[in-house]
Each structure stands twice: as structure tokens, then as C-alpha cells.
Amino acid sequence: MQTWLSSGTRFFPAFIAPMMAGISLSFPAPAQLQAQALPGFNTIFENVTLSPSFSPDPAIVRGISGGEMSANDVATRTETATGACTGFVDEQPDHTIVLTSVFNFLNLQVESPEDTTLVIRGPGGTWCNDDYTGKNPGIAGQWLSGTYQIWVGSYRQDEYSPYVIRMTAKK
């Protein structure tokens, strides 16, 4: 018999609980990086607002990848200019990131012990990626100001892996 634990709207096998314990730790950060609940955005994990010259750089959020929904259904396409929309994600985003201004350069990269995928929906469109660096997805370049929804996926349905997202404005 498998034991399941709940985290918000997602249920995890009990063996993931130790990984989630490390993810739930929070550390004080400057006001411009505070994780927060954003009105009208139901996300599973941390949300962040970034302003130009944010500190500390990189900004970091954590979560658990995967879900039951096909990433190409969330992205409403199978391919984007930044890569294929592959894997499985939750219906609701894992994170919401608000950029207060245009970023001439921002690098968002997922780091996980497992092979993960990425869907980002925001101003100007939807972007997907897989294997930006090794098995880790990411997107880098110019980003418009506004609100971005972030999904981190796993290759198999209902397969969950811990991850860290690092966001940096440094090239």
C-alpha cells in the first residue's frame, strides 16, 4: 500500500516528503524578491516579483515537477521558437513571476536531478524548452514586463521530481 501526502492541490507519494521538506524552507529576501500570493493567480509553489538590478542575483524558487496534463495542452501547441512542448505538468502553474520592467537579458533555468521540461506563458506568447543545459530546461533573452506563468514538467505522467529555478540578469 502506498502512502500519499498532500501539498495544496497536489498529492505526492510519501517517499517525496523528505524532498518536499527541503523545498519548503524559506529564507528572508529583499522586498523585491519576496515570494508572495498574487491575486487571481492560483499557483502551486512560490511566486516572485523581479525589478531591474534585483538582489540577490540569482533569484531562486523551488518546487516539484510533473502532473497529469500534457505540456502541449497547457502551451496550446507542440513546438515554440525555443523548443518542443513535451512532458506532463499540472493544470495550474507551478509559479508566477512578475517582471516590473523590460529585462534586456534574463536567464531562467531549471535544475533538477531528473530530466524536466518547461512551459512559460506570458506577455508576447508561450515558450517551451527541454534540455537547455544537459537535461535541464531554460529560456534566456529579452523579456517584456508583465506576468509570466511557469510550469515545470516531467517526462512521464504523475512522475514528480524536486527542482530549483534560478533567474539571473547576468550574462
* pLDDT for residue 41: 53
Per the model's pLDDT, the better-predicted residue between 81 and 14 turns out to be 81
5 in a structural domain: no
Q: CA Rg, the chain, in Å? A: 15
Q: List the domain range (segments joined by +) for residue 143.
A: 16-25+32-168
Could you tell me if residue 8 is inside a domain?
no
Domain contains 39: yes
Q: Which residue has the higher pLDDT, 134 or 61?
A: 61
C-alpha cell at 1: 500500500
Pick the closest to residue 7 from 47, 68, 60, 63 (CA basis).
63
Indicate whether 53 belongs to any domain: yes
Which of 9-18, 39-48, 129-138, 162-171 has the least mean pLDDT? 9-18
The answer to whether position 3 is within a domain reads no
Q: In angstroms, rounded to a whole number, what is the distance separating the alpha carbons of residues 113 and 154?
A: 11
Look at residue 10 and tell me if it is in a domain. no
| Grid cell locating 154 | 516531467
User: Is residue 11 in some structural domain?
Assistant: no
**Residues 135, 142 contacting (CB under 8 angstroms):** no
What's the domain count of the chain?
1
d(CA 145, CA 165): 19
Q: pLDDT tens-digit profile of 28-38?
A: 333 344 444 44
Residues 19-41 have a mean pLDDT of 40
Residue 125's CATH number:
2.60.120.380
Query: Residue 7: inside a domain, yes or no?
Result: no
